[in-house]
Chains A and B, each alone.
Chain A
Amino acid sequence: MAALKPPAAERRRPALLTGLVAAQALAAVFFAADAATDLLNAPWTPHTLIEAFVALALGAGVVIGAVELRAALERLRAQETALAAARGALSTVVAAQFRDWALTPAETDVAWLALKGLDVAEIAALRGSAQGTVRAQLARVYAKAGVSGRAQFAALFVEELLAQGVPEADGAHEASRRQA
């Protein structure tokens, strides 16, 4: 099953910036070495001055590029943390709702699997029960939830998230801060 991820461009950015910063570091070192050699062999000339200037500019470029790269990495991590928090929050909402509807343990299991996108045959195979049993359990779940079928059932939870925005999961945020 496809999983939600930050956009591809965002995910490629760190690798690109890393290559760029590495190339800058190479150029800076070569110019610095060249300027240093010239300086030791001959006094200041316009040529050496320019070389030294280029080396300095490239060196500054390395530092600025590195800072930029760190920012890109942190944006990516923040997005991943937000997704994880949303996932955690969604499961909490769903579990609370299931308890509210007083689903039996078997109905709860079947309801989770249905929400995760498995069809009746897959659920039956996973639980080692007959497809008829699963169908009956799902029908009771939909009845308790007051919906007509699976699509409406799933939409209940998506709607919940969209209406309220994404609640913050404190634990996940703390963990990301410790890692970041």
Chain B
Amino acid sequence: MRPADTPPAKAVGGDPHPPVLWDPVVRLTHWTIAVAIVVNYALTEDGGTTHVWVGYLALAILVLRLVWGFVGPAEARFAAFPPAPRAALAHLADLAAGRPGRYRSHNPAGALMAYALWAMLAVVIATGILMTAGGPGDEALMRAAVERDDWSILTGATPWVGDAAAEVLEEVHEVAANLLLLLAALHIAGVAVESRAMRTNLVRAMLPWRR
């Protein structure tokens, strides 16, 4: 309450600023993807049925976010945070100098991180699907193969790819999953640093239960 000749106007116009609250699709996809990754990395049995289902869930949610990147509100669109490595470096330099700029969506470094996380997730999911031959999980896959008199599955080969390719896919899946977690850790550190530099708690805008 501030009695005065004119009460303080709401800040209108002025500098661009990131959303006070991200839209519900951005928040839902963010936390579903984050939880799916942690669950599949740490909790589910490698390659087990739950692991595969959670992987498909992550795929569906990732697809939704990508659609939203074209039809969502302006600040959620890819056009609002294009991948721009030079701008990202410039932003990091500004940050180091203690004068980070303001953007209406993710800052350029955060944007690059978002694309890196999505791309890495796509690699993990794609290799996983190829490894399991698009099946809903080990057991079902095996049963179906055996029904077709294809016993190769029991000797370790997968119907979509040969033995050698399966080895490579497994290796890529594992390395990409590790990289994904590393990137996520960097991302969380980045959010903390940016929040401090901008004197804005960026996490508040991402909280799933706020209206």
Contact = CB atoms under 8 A, between A and B. Distances in A.
Most central of B7, B60, B68, B135 by chain A CB within 10 Å? B60
Interface in B120-140: 129, 133-135
Contacts of A109: 3-4
Contacts, number: 114
Interface of A: 11, 14-15, 18-19, 21-22, 25-26, 28-30, 33, 36-37, 40-41, 62-63, 66-67, 69-70, 73-74, 84, 87-88, 91-92, 95, 98-99, 105, 108-110, 112-113, 116, 126, 169, 171-172, 174-175, 178-180
Interface of B: 1, 3-7, 9-10, 12-14, 16, 19, 23-25, 28-29, 32, 56-57, 59-61, 63-64, 67-68, 71-75, 104, 129, 133-135, 144, 148, 159-160, 211
B56 A14 contact: no
Contact of A69 (B4, B25, B74, B135): B25
A12 to B, nearest CB: 9
Majority-rule SS of B interface residues: loop
A71 B20 CA distance: 19
A2 to B, nearest CB: 16
Contacts of B29: 22
Contacts of A19: 28
